[in-house]
Every structure is written in C-alpha cells, then in structure tokens.
Structure 1
C-alpha cells in the first residue's frame, strides 16, 4: 500500500512537474520571440523612415538643384566693395574689402595647388557625393557625446563651397543639414572639376583675398599660375584659420601649417618625399610698405569717403596724401623714443594741410586705437599757444615786460616747474621757458573766454574749460587738433584744414572725386602771427624745446602735464608741421616723461628726414603793429576792417568778405535777416560752459568808434606790465 501510494503520488507529481517545466521552457522562448518581433518592427520602421528620409532628401536636393544658379552665374558673383589705397606717389599701401584677383579656369590652376587643397581639406573629394560619410559619422559621435549644438571638422570642399556661396558661418546642426543638401545639389549639378574651380576661386584666404590668384598676389607678389610647391602649401594651409596662419601676421605659424600640408600631400601620394622637404622658410613674402602703422592712417581717412563720394558699390582706388617713406620714419621715431610702457602718436602736415604721416600708436597689431585722432589728453604748456595768441592780439608784444612772481587767482596758485620766480622778464623769455605764473597773469588779463575763442578759431573742437587753470592746458584735446593749430601759425595765420584723400577713381578709370582746396581764412593779423612765431622759435633755440633742433629754423612748443602723465611737442619747419604725443593709455605717470625730452627727440628724428630736400625757410618774426594801434587819428578810432575777426555765437570765426560790409567791417544785412538795432553791437557768445568774447570791449569800442576816448598823445611801445596788470609807458 505504501509502495503503491508512493508510486501513485510520484505519477501524479510528474505531469505537474512536466507542466511546470514546459511553462518555464515556453516562457524563455516567448522572450526571444518578443525581441525578434521588436527587432523586426524597428527594422521595418527604421527602413521606412530611411526611405522617407531618402525621399525627402532627394526632393530637397532636387529642389535645390532646380533653384540653384547656373555655373556661369556663380562665377560672376562677387560680394562687397573693394578699395585699393595708394600713397601720394601711387604706390599701393593697403587693399580693403574682398579682392578676387583674376579668375582661373580649372586647366590654368597649377596641379600642385589643386592637390594641396584636396589633401588638407577633403582627401576623399573625388569619391564622395558631397558629404563624406566617414567624417559625418565622427560628427554624429561628437554631437552625441559633446556639444550637441556644434558639429565641427566635417565639411567637405563641396560643403565649404555651399556655405561660402549660400549660407553663413553658424555651425549649428540646422545649418549643417542645409549645407549638406546644398553640397549634394552642387555635386548633382556640376562636375568635380567645376566644383574645385569654383572653390579655389571663391574661398577666403585672409587679408581680404578671395581665391588663389588674389592670395598669391597678396602674399607673394605674383599670379597663381607661378605658385611653387611651398607657396601652394602655405595658401592651402590658410583656409582652416586665415588670420591665425597668415604669413604676414605670424610667419612661424604659417610655416608650421604649410609643413603639415606637405606631409599630408606626401602621405596621400601627391608629391615625392623630396618635394615634401622643401624649405618653406625660403619663400619670399610680399614687402609691406609702411608697416602696419599705415592702418592708423587708413582708419582715419577712409570713413570720410562716405561724405566725399556718391553712393557706389564698384571697386575704387583711393589716392592719398601719405608719404610711405615719412610714414616709416614716423613709426621708427615713435618706437625708438617712446618710454617703456608708454604709447606714442605723431601727425605731420604739409603747408596746405595734406597729411604726410600719421601714427596712432607703437604697434597697430597690438592696439588699433588711434591716439593721433581719437585720444583726448591734456596738452599742458603746449596750450599756451592760444594764451599768447590772445595776448598778442590784445596788444602785447614779445618785448613787453612781465613779472614772474607768485600769483593767486580765485584761490588758485600756479607754480613754475623749477619752483622759482625770476622777477621781471619779457614776454619772449616767459614763453620760451614756459613760465606758468606769467601765463596765468596773461590769461587773467585777456580772459579765459577770449583764450577759448582763440582755440576755437584755430580748429580746436574738443570741449574747453574756462577755469583759470585752463591757461596751463587742463582741457583735453586731440593731437591732430593741436597740429592743425600750429600749422595755421606756420601758414602766417591762414587757416589750414587737414586732409588725406587726393582723388578717387572707379574701376573704369573715371575720376569720381578730386580734392579741392577750400578758401583759407586769415585767423589772426600778420603782426600776431609774426609775434607768436618769434616766441615759438625762441622756445626751440634757447628754451624748453632745444632737443627739437634740426640744423635749420624750427618753431615749436613743449607740453608736460602734472606728474608726467603726458608729453607733447608740436612745431614746424620748412612748411611741415609735426605734432608728437607720448603717455600711457591709462593716464598713469611715466617716469622722466617731459615734452622737451622724448617727444622733442622724436620730432627732431622725424623732421630731419621730412625736410630733407626742401629749401631752408627763415621765419618772419618782425612785429609791425598796424598804424591804427599807434596813432590817435581816424585809423586809430575806427581801425582797418581787414584786421578784424568776428566770432559767431558758437565761437567760430566769421569771414566778413563773404558778403558786403559796412565801414566798420560788419556784414550788411540781407533780406529776411534779423540784425541788431542802430548802434548796437552784436552779442558774442561761446558754447555752454565757456564765457567771454574774442576781443575786449575796449578794443571793440576803439575799432568801431563807439564810446570814443578823448584825444591822447601818440602811443609808445610798452616795456613793463606788472603782475597787477597795470600798464606803464616810457618815453
């Protein structure tokens, strides 16, 4: 019974066990089936999506092919305007904007140039359909594990051409997709030879050069048909980073990149090992006239074309006033004399205002900021030019006596640089040694507003303070403004307007602009110009500007600001006026910087070359006061209208010869114009924060005949004027 029961129990347990094992076995088989099922589904869906994607891609490419310009249209397209800038002798100095050179057909392009470009940019160019699958796979991996918004290093030559012709440089996934579609369309519509021809004539190589012919002329001074293996390697290496590998910016980087190109060409069988070992260092690069400092000049001059020219988009050539030899000399003078850590700037004008040289810093590559035309710095004692001009116009002469003694003006106590006072001296000596106390007294005598008006008259457009200390040059000005003012003194008081463009011609050769010298104006009378020239010449011959001597007559003025933050020297000789500034951009003190040292030495170094070949010119320093200032007759009472200078409400000089004037020199009214009533003098005003008028009331009363003084004995030259501003005459 027991045995039977056990057997029966065992028999009853076996089916259950088998069922259990069967269910387990079935369970494992079901899992595999489900995996296979999902794999089939994914394959079907994936295949379907791939087919849809292929259809979509085919439609997109087909549409792109239909709308794409023809080969000949693509050849003819050029973007932006090109500007070739020439020096005064016609020498090309810089080319701005895109330069395309001559178009080169596929058969004209040297084989070594084509091989170099394919080797470094797209080794599978001749086998892919516009997109390189191998490079694309790497791009997908990069986009998956790296920055998903950027895909780099995937562009074939066809893709680069598509980007250059139709797209921007954004490296997003969306742009890459459109780039791929357009590249495939290019491959569909054009042959490999046509694509490579378009690419080599369109790709950017830096320095404004588009295409291999422009690059070859830009870097090697010959057409692309003459490219050597080493030169082709240099050009091919530029595409990756034109600014980084430019041979004109970094020769070492360009050579290293070219050697990489040669290695790739050898590995891919385009050149022999002997050709790959060429000496890239031996390549002759195009000589750059004027150095990089030429860009300071072009940056200042070329924006003026917007005002000078009618709207045009064709290529133009701009003939300028720049003298390349003097530009090089100016650059060398600034670099050789600027103190360590300091910057320097130089502007040189010919007698008619033509800019002969302009340097805005020690190195344009390091800093393109133009300190000659944009920086505003305190001129120090160079500003005394306007103080003494105002004093001379008010009746002072170089021989008049003044007092170098302590002075206080509204709580301001100016000090001399040597800390001493010399007592009684003359105006000439005070100017030559830049005596601050005398300048302060003269400024108080003529008035800050009169000095500001004089500066405006001579072309200073920067804001001018009228505090008493302004006589010592506390108002910021630009170097080109100060140089212009001194140039007007060199021109015997005639206005001078700086200019840099002589003429402009279109690509057709048509002259579309020619400089016409404007009508000059007499800013001060001859006796004032002669008097200030006397003072300026003395400052160089015996005063603070002795370091500026060049072996011929020189007139100029030094300028040094407090704590030696700025050093100036501005002067002229033989019709050339040159201004020099030195200092730090952060306006910190520079040890030992004084206008009579480094700036004066830079001026001397430059001017010796600038005036070479010009005749020696003696200055007219004879001060002949007009008769109306010396005799108490009708001329004394009314003066000569030709000697008067009228200032408008903005402080600018009004030329009375532009219209008829009355016997006092005032312009006669014209129809519809509001004029002052009978016997009323026009009010002279200055810009905001500036006060005073260009001439004293006493001077105007005598000039116009109003408030006539009683008859007086003949006026004799003054010999002494005290710091109290009292006047004494001697027999």
Structure 2
C-alpha cells in the first residue's frame, strides 16, 4: 500500500548539464587572461625596440609608397589627358608620307618604276586580308587585343635580351607594342618644322631615336591612343603608315608594289612577306633580296602556326609555295631611265610637291632589255675579269624619244651614277661629223678633196701646234668621204679651219651639244666634252634630215585622280640646223664609216647602218654613235677615274656593244634603207686648189638660200673642179 505524505519527492532524474559549468562559472572561465610575452622578449628591452622599429619602417614604406603611387597616377592621368585632347580624328592619320609618289609607265602603259613615297590608299584592319592582319599580330604583338597599350612583360623580355647580347637595355629589341610603334610612326604628334630640322630625313631620324625620356613620352602617347581610338583603329593606322620597303608606305602600296594585287587579296605566303618587312623594310624588301625575304617569311609562317592563325596544312602549303613577285616588280628595268626622267621634272610636279603623279614615258621595255643584254654579253665575253671599265648605252628614235638607257655595267639598279647623262667626257673623233655637216651645209661635196699631210699651225699664245693622225701616217689627197670614214685628223682640222670653227661650234651646239666648245683648232679633234645623251641626240638630228632634237622621256604627266595631262611631251624635233640634202649626204658618208671604215665591227647583218667611232686623247674615252633607219644608239666606254683604256678604241668594244644592242633591237623588224643621198662622182678629178673661206663662204651661204643657184654652182664645179 502506498504511503501518502511520507515527505519523499518524485523519483525524477536530476537535470543533466552535459558536463557544462554553471553560467557564472562559465563567465569566469571565459575571461581572457593576458598572454604572457616570451620570457626572452619580456626580459630583453633591445629586442622590443628592434621589433618596434622594423614594424614602423614597413608601415612608413607602405604609407610613402601608396602616397607616391597615388601622386604618380594623378600625374600620369594629367599627362595622358593632355595628350588625349590633342589627338586628331582617326581619319586624318592614315596617310603619313613625307612626300608624294611618282608611278612611271612605259610606252605600252605598263608600270616599270616607282619613285617617292607610294601610298596605295587607306585600308582598315577589317578590309585587308585576314592572313595579313594575323601575320602582323603574330610577329609584332600577339597580345595586342588584351593589353592597355604597354606590355611590361614584353619590355622586361626585351631588356633581358639586349643585356644578354651585350647592348644597352634600350638598344636593339624594344619590346614595343603595336600601339607604341604607331605612336612612333606619328612622331608623338610632332609635325615637321623646317626651322627646327634642316631636312625631313633629320626629322624622321629624330622621331625614331630611342632614349629613356623618349620611351616615357612614347608610353604616355600610347596610353592616350588606347583611350582615344579602338584597337582596330590603332591597327589600321599602323597598317597604313608603316614603311614596307621599296618606297611603299602602307599595306596597300606594298601589296601593289610587290604582287600587283590589293591588300585584301593577299594569300598566306604573300602576307608573310609583307609582315616580315616590318622589322627591316629596306634590307628585307623582296625587290632587294628575294631569298632573304623568303627566309623571313618562313619565320612569320611558323609564328602564325604556333599561335593558331594557320592550320598545319595551310602553313605547310604556304612554305611549299613561297610568294613570287609580280612581273613589274621582277623586271626592275629602266632604273637609270627612271632616275633621268625624275631629274627632268619641274618642281611643281616632282615628289617634293607631295602630290601623287603618273607619268607615261617613252621607254620601250624590249629595247631596254636589248641594251642591258648587249652590255652584259660583251662584258662577260670580251672584257677581262677584274676590269673596272664602265660603259653606257642610249637608244632613241629619230625624234629624240629615248627608248632605252643603261648608265653603267650594273643593270637593274637605281639611284646610282648615270654615265649616260651625268658623265661629260671628251668626244674624240665622234665630233667630226659636225665638221663635215658644216662643210656640206656650205656647199662642199662629199667628193671634194683635202690633202692629208704633215701640218703645223702657229697658235697665238701657245706656239706651234703640229697635230698627227692616230696612225701617225699620211694619205695625201683624200675625199671628204675617205677622211671621215678613216677618221683622219689632219683633213678634219683643215676643213674646220676653212669653213670656220665658229660655224662648226654653232652647228654642233644647234644639234644639241650643250657643252662649252673650245675655240681652238683642236676643236676638230673632239677635245670638248659632252654627255652620251647629248651625242646620241645630235646624231638623231642627222638621221631625221638635219633638224635638232631635244631628247625626252616624258610623253605626258597627270596628277592622280585627274585625267587631264598637266605636262605634255617635253622634247622632240626642233629647228632645222642644216639643209635636208646636206644631212642626207652626211648619212651617206657615215654609212661608209660602218661599211668600209673604222666602224666595221658595228656592221649589221641584214640592214644598212651609219655611225662614227671616237677615241679621246690618251684613249681615256671610246665612243661609237650611229643609227639605222629605225633607231639611233650611242655607246661610251671608259674609266670613271679617267684611267686610259688599254687597247680599246671606239671601233673596238664600243662598236661591238653597239652592234650587239642593235641586232637585238631590230629582231623582228623588216630592213629599211637609210635615208641617204648618194652623190654623183665628179666627171674628172678636180685640180688641187685650196678652199678660200672668204671667197667661198658667201657664195655657199647664198646657195643655202637659193636652190637654183646652188644647182648651177654644183654643176659648174663638177665640170671645172674647185
């Protein structure tokens, strides 16, 4: 039974605390007790001081650095902002040439040369071939689309390479991004000022220099460009302004210059050639060294493959099929001719005018190849190895239109000394046709005679002068035909003095010899100087019937975008110098030089030719100038330093070069007779009588004015002699 009220409580378990202490106990237990310092530090005041100084130093460094960084950021922002507001619109930055361009076309309308700064037109990063865009990125700046205008990693790598190779940190590899390179191409916004720089070349050199301060300015300019323009706009400026060799500025000009196609149509191998030019445009230009250009292109293709711009198949195909130059770029003909044409342009039409000019010229590429081939053939087969002798060739039409020009032994070059136009040398016996032209004009007959004999003259101020023939022999009485074809000196001097050397000088000058001719009896021996172009032009006047010609190479000149010619033909046939009959008789005499006289090595196998040999004093110069019914050609040979030629006369190697050139030039042309008059032989040998200039000259001048009187006079002379 139960016991109620027994006083015992319920059988309930005590409240579990899970081992937790009472709240008061817990509060007391969780109170932190100060952590005791290590016994060493607590006992060592010096250690406490060092620890305080060290922590204070780093706090100071952090404060100073953060403040300086903030100040530097603010200064940089101000500098970048200052440049930013000066940057022009993107459209104004595509064409950055210092001068205009000249494109030269041959007589058939094909491009054969370029001069000045070529700019084919503005392109964009999207309009060029994607292969070209990717090739430029692969070689110049593979992180272009991810950086902010500068590449610290690229700069550090370039400095490391430069130091390892023994150069200064900023010499050699620059580590520049495309943005920085574009900033340099823009000359950091500084325009050319003639009062600051003597020449534009000095200005450009200053823009390209490397120094620490220049690099800093370049970086600021690059940052401003990144804020102002998009990435594609910066790349487009770069593609338009970069120099790519051979006078080409920009991708479009380079594509047209080397491959005759737009930049949008470039294939991988062609794009690799152009992108490879950016490191060294002059030395890597394919027109300068195609093998070296191909080697650089192979490197570009490898980089494109490694960076995923080309598949393995595309890269292999491009390497197996390297780019080939266009026909115009491959030929590289007419360099001397192009240089001469550029020298003849008026100031308002040359490259200094900053205009783009197109010139239609008189150059015949077939004849140019003939002249170059003749030069190479003779020097390779007839001139001893190691000889420093030079030669020049000019071929022109009878109206003075220059069809071919070679200014030295080395062909396919430009910007070098042109011996056809710039060298003025003694003409020697090549001058004698102008003596006989004067005599024929005054009424002499080719069959008139003169005595070849020992001869002396007393020259006031110089004493006695006794000239000799080249052979040191004398032939007695000879006709003018024989005197010319055998190049006899004594008869030439006598005739020159009889007709008047002043008249001889005038005839030569009127025919185009633009030199100051000496007023001494030695004029007849060709001691005066002339250029090969002048001499060839003078002989063209003989071929065309006695009228002077001004050699010319320009048919018309137009400014790009304007079809109306700014300049027409600059040269051609001028005023009459001698009568047409006199010129035709002189052609007959010059034909005898080639067929029977000193110029037989120039004789052509299938057509008539006429010309004159010439050898100057001490054999320093050798000439042959002559013509067919179709073309006039002149050849000069000698040393640049006036060293005498060894065993070479005008009738030797120059005549052989002339022969070789004219055989090639006339291939495929039907033979045509020379425009000459064959004079009648006199009925009887005229009695030897001296020609009196004072008595004959007025009569013969009257004959020039009165053809009937001339005919009567000639008839009487044929019957009764001189």
TM-score, normalisation: structure 1: 0.76
Q: How far 1:730 sits from its partner (Å)? A: 4.8
* Structure 1 residues 379 and 147, CA gap change in structure 2 (3 angstroms): farther
Q: Is 1:388 aligned to residue 436 of structure 2? A: yes
**2: CA distance between counterparts of 1:465 and 1:31?**
101
Q: Is 1:316 aligned to residue 354 of structure 2? A: no
Q: How far 1:368 sits from its partner (Å)? A: 1.5
SS at match of 2:360: strand
Tell me which residue corresponds to 1:617: 673
Q: How far 1:86 sits from its partner (Å)? A: 1.0
**2: CA distance between counterparts of 1:718 and 1:359?**
49
Q: Is 1:484 aligned to residue 537 of structure 2? A: yes
SS at match of 1:574: coil
* Structure 1 residues 309 and 213, CA gap change in structure 2 (3 angstroms): closer
Q: How far 1:570 sits from its partner (Å)? A: 0.7
* Structure 1 residues 219 and 211, CA gap change in structure 2 (3 angstroms): same
**2: CA distance between counterparts of 1:560 and 1:231?**
51
> Per-residue CA shift, 1:435-477, capped at 9, x if unaligned?
1222233334344433322222221112222333332222221
Tell me which residue corresponds to 2:90: 71
**2: CA distance between counterparts of 1:146 and 1:336?**
48
SS at match of 1:514: coil
Which residue among 520, 540, 565 is the counterpart of 1:511?
Answer: 565
Q: Write out aligned runs for 1:318-337 (5 A).
A: 318-337=359-378
**2: CA distance between counterparts of 1:266 and 1:207?**
28
Q: How far 1:535 sits from its partner (Å)? A: 1.7
Tell me which residue corresponds to 1:264: 303
SS at match of 1:108: coil
Tell me which residue corresponds to 1:344: 391
Which residue among 215, 236, 239 is the counterpart of 1:200?
Answer: 239
Tell me which residue corresponds to 1:596: 651
* Structure 1 residues 624 and 503, CA gap change in structure 2 (3 angstroms): farther
TM-score, normalisation: structure 2: 0.77
For the Cα contact (< 8 Å) 1:574–1:614, is it kept in 2?
Answer: no
**2: CA distance between counterparts of 1:38 and 1:595?**
93
For the Cα contact (< 8 Å) 1:553–1:619, is it kept in 2?
Answer: no
> Per-residue CA shift, 1:293-315, capped at 9, x if unaligned?
41211211133331685996543
* Structure 1 residues 67 and 588, CA gap change in structure 2 (3 angstroms): same
Which residue among 91, 95, 117 is the counterpart of 2:114?
Answer: 95
Q: Is 1:543 aligned to residue 582 of structure 2? A: no
SS at match of 2:663: helix
For the Cα contact (< 8 Å) 1:400–1:719, is it kept in 2?
Answer: no
> Per-residue CA shift, 1:637-680, capped at 9, x if unaligned?
xxxxxxxxxxxxxxxxxxxxxxxxxxxxxxxxxxxxxxxxxxxx
Which residue among 371, 375, 399 is the counterpart of 2:419?
Answer: 371
Tell me which residue corresponds to 2:25: none
Q: Is 1:172 aligned to residue 239 of structure 2? A: no
Tell me which residue corresponds to 1:574: 629
Deviates more, 1:319-328 or 1:499-508: 499-508
For the Cα contact (< 8 Å) 2:553–2:570, is it kept in 1?
Answer: no
Q: How far 1:329 sits from its partner (Å)? A: 1.1
Q: Write out aligned runs for 1:398-477 (5 A).
A: 398-410=446-458, 411-477=464-530
Any stretches of 5+ residues in structure 1 without a counterpart?
1-24, 626-694, 706-713, 721-727
> Per-residue CA shift, 1:576-602, capped at 9, x if unaligned?
211111222222233332212222222
**2: CA distance between counterparts of 1:204 and 1:409?**
65
Deviates more, 1:180-189 or 1:197-206: 197-206
**2: CA distance between counterparts of 1:480 and 1:116?**
47
For the Cα contact (< 8 Å) 2:305–2:315, is it kept in 1?
Answer: yes
* Structure 1 residues 114 and 307, CA gap change in structure 2 (3 angstroms): closer
For the Cα contact (< 8 Å) 2:618–2:644, is it kept in 1?
Answer: yes
**1: CA distance between counterparts of 2:47 and 2:389?**
84
**2: CA distance between counterparts of 1:564 and 1:35?**
93
Which residue among 110, 113, 129 is the counterpart of 2:148?
Answer: 129
SS at match of 1:279: helix
Q: How far 1:701 sits from its partner (Å)? A: 5.5
Q: Write out aligned runs for 1:11-22 (5 A).
A: none
Q: Is 1:286 aligned to residue 326 of structure 2? A: yes
**2: CA distance between counterparts of 1:403 and 1:281?**
73
**1: CA distance between counterparts of 2:77 and 2:515?**
65
Q: How far 1:212 sits from its partner (Å)? A: 2.3
**2: CA distance between counterparts of 1:592 and 1:547?**
15
**2: CA distance between counterparts of 1:29 and 1:567?**
102
For the Cα contact (< 8 Å) 1:86–1:320, is it kept in 2?
Answer: yes
**2: CA distance between counterparts of 1:290 and 1:558?**
36
SS at match of 1:510: coil
**1: CA distance between counterparts of 2:50 and 2:431?**
96
**2: CA distance between counterparts of 1:395 and 1:501?**
38
Say what the alpha-carbon RMSD is for the aligned residues.
3.7
> Per-residue CA shift, 1:475-513, capped at 9, x if unaligned?
221001111111111111112121111112331323323
Q: Write out aligned runs for 1:27-46 (5 A).
A: none
Q: Write out aligned runs for 1:625-704 (5 A).
A: 698=695
Tell me which residue corresponds to 2:184: 163
Aligned length: 623
Which residue among 290, 298, 314 is the counterpart of 1:251?
Answer: 290
For the Cα contact (< 8 Å) 2:255–2:266, is it kept in 1?
Answer: yes
Q: How far 1:517 sits from its partner (Å)? A: 6.7
Q: Is 1:498 aligned to residue 554 of structure 2? A: no
Tell me which residue corresponds to 2:663: 608
> Per-residue CA shift, 1:205-253, capped at 9, x if unaligned?
1123233233222212222333222222111110111111111110111
**2: CA distance between counterparts of 1:608 and 1:448?**
37
For the Cα contact (< 8 Å) 2:621–2:636, is it kept in 1?
Answer: yes
For the Cα contact (< 8 Å) 2:347–2:353, is it kept in 1?
Answer: no
SS at match of 1:398: coil
* Structure 1 residues 582 and 291, CA gap change in structure 2 (3 angstroms): farther
Tell me which residue corresponds to 2:405: 358
Q: Which has the larger radius of gyration?
A: 2
Which residue among 253, 258, 263 is the counterpart of 1:214?
Answer: 253
Which residue among 580, 583, 589 is the counterpart of 1:529?
Answer: 583
* Structure 1 residues 718 and 445, CA gap change in structure 2 (3 angstroms): farther
